[in-house]
Amino acid sequence: MVRGMLRKLANQSLSVAGKWQQQQLRRLNIHEYQGAELMSKYGINVPKGVAVASLDEVKKAIQDVFPNQSEVVVKSQVLAGGRGLGTFKNGFQGGVHIVKADQAEDIASKMLGQILVTKQTGAQGKVVSKVYLCEKMSLVNEMYFSIILDRATAGPLIIACRKGGTSIEDLAEKFPDMIIKVPIDVFKGISDADAAKVVDGLAPKVADRNDSIEQVKKLYKLFCETDCTMLEINPLAETSDNKLVAADAKLNFDDNAAYRQKEIFSLRDSSQEDPREVAAAKADLNYIGLDGEIGCMVNGAGLAMATMDIIKLHGGTPANFLDVGGNATEGQVVEAFKILTADEKVKAILVNIFGGIMKCDVIASGIVNAAKQVQLKVPVIVRLEGTNVEQGKRILKESGMKLITAEDLDDAAEKAVKALA
């Protein structure tokens, strides 16, 4: 939803290598209902709602939580934007519906357990394990609000627009003068003047100005205390009873803070993530799945991106970003091969190791052991250089494995592409 605009605002590179580098940064993404519960703890106004996982729970929620509501909002919970315009693989249209309370169970039955495809999920879609039942609020105005980490100002940056409820990219294109950016001094924190500047830029129509300032300060407090990397509310709405409400929110958290944000990171829904990336994370490997045919196993992020670039240069397409790091064990190498060979799209595997801290003989032993555990049905191209390279080459030669060896990176990429033929 917001990524396109944020890239423009931060002047980030959209090169292939840059995109992979951004993806490598792991950030926890939580569901809308989880974000609403978290914001509520910080005193931020959110709609009344409850997440349910079965039709019995839907019925109970309608009776207990919304006994006097004639209408409710039923929202499918997947970690992707564009739910409202999404399509379920069972043919049902839309992942967000405003319905009569007595119709909620029927609508939920068409969502729960089904796969929703949106512009952000890819063709494979994501399964809906829960739906979020919310009160239908009477909104009189919709605005946009977000907090991100900005390199240019070396701190949090609040981005706000007096119009909201639709794509921020479209708003930026149509109403660039309505978008305001307020950098916050990371050492001093948000001041009353900072919060007032945001509120004046939002120009609320009915909400009390002082109350709105306090809501902005609470949002900033949440952002900092929970180690957010992004907090986006679209829409930030005004209700008919003159309140400022976070009607829909998206929150991301820095994985580096997992050790001190245990409660938040316990909310991680691995069923919404690429299973290959989940397996890689458990093995302490840096893995990002892509759509190509050449699986890559490399040590070092820079070398990994260079490897993928040279594969592209020779007419191939990388199937993944996989960095085993500088201290990988033999077991991690085995796990890396399991992940690569589990991808049906992979038609060849390129191993490119420049041994510094990482030793070539460890990689070689891992490759041999992986071959014993995994049926290698695709060509494996290996380029080893650096620490213990001769021992590594000897281990591979004595293994009897049918490998394609390469002298340098360019040679390895060329052979990998030819192996696809």
Binding-site residue positions for substrate: 299, 356-358
What is d(CA 93, CA 116) in angstroms, rounded to the nearest whole number?
A: 9
The CA–CA distances, whole Å, from 314 to 301, 411, 415 equal 20, 10, 9
From 212, 269, 246, select the one nearest 49 (Cα to Cα).
Answer: 246
Catalytic residue list contains 105: no
Cα 181 to Cα 198: distance, rounded to the nearest angstrom = 8
Is residue 232 annotated as a catalytic residue, yes or no? yes
The helix/strand/coil state of 182 is strand
Residue tagged active-site, from 33, 144, 220, 287? 144
Q: Which amino acid is at 404?
A: I
Write out the binding residues: 75, 82-84, 142, 234, 248, 299, 356-358
Helix (H) / strand (E) element for 159: namely: strand 155-161
Which of 232, 238, 277, 414 does the annotation list as catalytic?
232
Q: CB within 8 A of 17, min separation 6: which ones? A: 305, 308, 309
Long-range contacts of residues 367-373, Cβ cutoff 8 Å, at least 24 apart: 367/333, 367/337, 367/396, 367/399, 367/401, 368/395, 368/396, 368/399, 368/401, 369/330, 369/333, 369/334, 370/333, 370/334, 370/336, 370/337, 370/338, 371/337, 371/399, 371/401, 373/334, 373/338
| Cα radius of gyration (the chain) | 25
Task: Catalogue the long-range contacts made by 311-318 (C-beta closer than 8 Å, 24 or more residues apart).
Answer: 311/350, 311/413, 311/416, 311/417, 312/16, 313/413, 314/413, 314/414, 314/416, 314/417, 315/417, 316/292, 316/413, 316/416, 316/417, 316/420, 317/290, 317/291, 317/292, 317/293, 318/290, 318/292, 318/294
Residue 376 backbone dihedrals phi, psi, to 5 degrees: -80, 110
Residues 342, 343, 344, 347, CA torsion sign: negative
Which residues fall in the annotated binding site for ATP?
75, 82-84, 142
Cα gap 76→379, rounded to integer Å: 42
In angstroms, the CA 89 to CA 110 distance is 10
* CA 259 – CA 307 distance, rounded (Å): 32
Catalytically active residues, by annotation: 144, 232
